[in-house]
Amino acid sequence: MATDVVPGSVGTSASFSLRLGQAIFSSASLLFMSLGVEFYSYTAFCYLVTIMGLVIPWSVTLAIVDGYSVLVKCPIRQPGILLIIVLGDWVLSILTLAAACSTASVVDLLLHADGAYCPTKFCSRYQISAAMAFLTWFLSSASSLFNLWLLPSLWW
Amino acid sequence: MATDVVPGSVGTSASFSLRLGQAIFSSASLLFMSLGVEFYSYTAFCYLVTIMGLVIPWSVTLAIVDGYSVLVKCPIRQPGILLIIVLGDWVLSILTLAAACSTASVVDLLLHADGAYCPTKFCSRYQISAAMAFLTWFLSSASSLFNLWLLPSLWW
């Protein structure tokens, strides 16, 4: 089948790399945010931690599925499962984008507010965390698009 | 053709309603934000104003195109133009979501910060502006999805 060669769809090594990247970046975002102190005093930071807590298990699970598929050379081709993966990726990428934007804007406000709200050490941590969240969003939407591209050829 | 009955795609009255809603909500968001004072002192608010300045002409133009198509009963069916509309809607909806989230998180921070950062009158304005931006995002992504649904049936 010609559909087997779509790179980045579920069950290929490109998809495995994307999932691995998502897992790494979202874990890094969570760690940079939660190892600092006082993240729970800002709503946006709590939201980022919550969303990353959703993204990490999702990415790790799909990375395991992809790795298994690559090893046994038997990719998933059920349209129903693929639809769930596409929808899950899409919802999670929107939530990740929202979390990343909120975090970035709050960090920007804390940096430029008049007053010593934000010690430099913590603020650079928050910035790195927001950047990692943006990278997670980028990889997650890429996964969603690649699988969406594959979906119609399976359905009809 | 069966493709003529997809509701919400370019050239239908449903699409005209969506575009009109986008234009109204984005204008309301811009007005609530910019008629208050000091919006230019926060990066997130400036970003929202910039994005709304992009969304308003786009929505108004497409609303005019849709209204004209409905009146002359001759909807656009060129795949190239439809692709541009889908991509434009998609990019603008991502930017709108980012602006809405940034604004909402900054407003939340200003409301709960210790200190009189935010007079109640201005803060409720900012909140309404953020809510309008979220509604704009919702309608814009709906337009993008409806047109994306129509696209494959034209292409092949």
| For range A73-83, the mean pLDDT | 81
Across the interface, whether the CB atoms of B101 and A106 are under 8 A apart is answered no
pLDDT at residue B44 is higher than 80: yes
In chain B, what residues touch A101 (CB-CB under 8 Å)?
Answer: 97-99, 101-102, 105
* DSSP letter, residue B10: T
Q: Residue A2's pLDDT band (boundaries 50, 70, 90)?
A: very low
In the prediction, which pLDDT does B42 show?
80
Backbone angles phi, psi at B91, to 5 degrees: -65, -45
In the prediction, which pLDDT does A62 show?
92
Q: Count residue pairs from A and B with Cβ separation < 8 A.
A: 48
Half-sphere exposure of A23 (CA within 13 A, CB side): 14
pLDDT tens digits, residue range B74-109?
777 788 888 899 899 999 999 999 999 999 998 888
Across the interface, whether the CB atoms of B44 and A105 are under 8 A apart is answered yes
Contact B24, B116 (CB under 8 A): no
DSSP string spanning A8-73?
A: TSTTSHHHHHHHHHHHHHHHHHHHHHHSSS-GGGSHHHHHHHHHHHHHHHHHHHHHHHHHHHHHHT
Q: Mean pLDDT in chain B?
A: 84
Q: Mark which residues 51-90 of A lie under 8 Å from B by CB.
A: none
Across the interface, whether the CB atoms of A97 and B102 are under 8 A apart is answered no
B139/A7: higher pLDDT: B139
Say how far apart CA A118 and CA B116 lie, in whole Å. Answer: 18
What residue type is B86 in one-letter code? V
In chain B, what residues touch A102 (CB-CB under 8 Å)?
Answer: 101-102, 104-105
Return all residues near A56 (Cβ < 8 A) that are at least 6 apart.
Answer: A23, A26, A27, A30
- What token pair was written down for B30? 């811009």
Say how far apart CA B43 and CA B143 lie, in whole Å. Answer: 28
Say how far apart CA A32 and CA A127 lie, in whole Å. Answer: 9
pLDDT at residue A5 is higher than 80: no
Q: Residue B115's pLDDT band (boundaries 50, 70, 90)?
A: low
User: Is this model's pTM higher than 0.90 or not?
Assistant: no
Q: Where are the domains of chain B?
A: 2-144
* A133 close contact with B: CB closer than 8 A: no
Say how far apart CA B97 and CA B17 lie, in whole Å. Answer: 20
pLDDT tens digits, residue range A92-121?
999 999 999 999 998 888 887 665 566 667
Say how far apart CA B139 and CA B15 lie, in whole Å. Answer: 10
pLDDT at residue A39 is higher than 70: no
In chain B, what residues touch A43 (CB-CB under 8 Å)?
Answer: 105, 108-109, 112
- Specify the 3-state DSSP secondary structure of A1: coil
In the prediction, which pLDDT does A55 show?
94
* B145 close contact with A: CB closer than 8 A: no
What residue type is B139 in one-letter code? L
In the prediction, which pLDDT does A1 show?
43
How far away is chain A from the Cα of B106, in angstroms, using its nearest Cα?
Answer: 6
How far away is chain B from the Cα of A107, in angstroms, using its nearest Cα?
Answer: 10
Q: Which residue is closest to B115 within chain A, CA to CA? A: A115
Return all residues near A14 (Cβ < 8 A) that are at least 6 apart.
Answer: A7, A8, A146
B78-90: buried (b, 16+ CB within 10 Å) or exposed (e) per residue? eeeebeebbebbb
B10/A47: higher pLDDT: A47
Question: A24-38, A42-56, B18-32 — which is least confidently predicted?
Answer: A24-38
In chain B, what residues touch A94 (CB-CB under 8 Å)?
Answer: 97
Question: A17-26, A138-147, B8-17, B90-99 — which is least confidently predicted?
Answer: B8-17
In the prediction, which pLDDT does A150 show?
81
pLDDT at residue A153 is higher than 70: yes
A16-34: buried (b, 16+ CB within 10 Å) or exposed (e) per residue? bebbbbbbbbbbbbbebbb
Query: Which candidate in B86, B92, B105 is best for mutational testing of the A interface (most A CBs within 10 A)?
Result: B105
Residue A80: other Cβ atoms inside 10 A = 9
The ipTM, to two decimals, is 0.82
In chain A, what residues touch B97 (CB-CB under 8 Å)?
Answer: 94, 97-98, 101
Across the interface, whether the CB atoms of B101 and A97 are under 8 A apart is answered yes
Backbone angles phi, psi at A8, to 5 degrees: 95, -10
pLDDT at residue B25 is higher than 90: yes
pLDDT at residue B137 is higher than 50: yes
Say how far apart CA A62 and CA B140 lie, in whole Å. Answer: 30
How far away is chain A from the Cα of B71, in angstroms, using its nearest Cα?
Answer: 33
Say how far apart CA A151 and CA A82 lie, in whole Å. Answer: 7
Query: Which candidate in A102, A114, A141 is best for mutational testing of the B interface (most B CBs within 10 A)?
Result: A102
Say how far apart CA A93 and CA A111 lie, in whole Å. Answer: 27
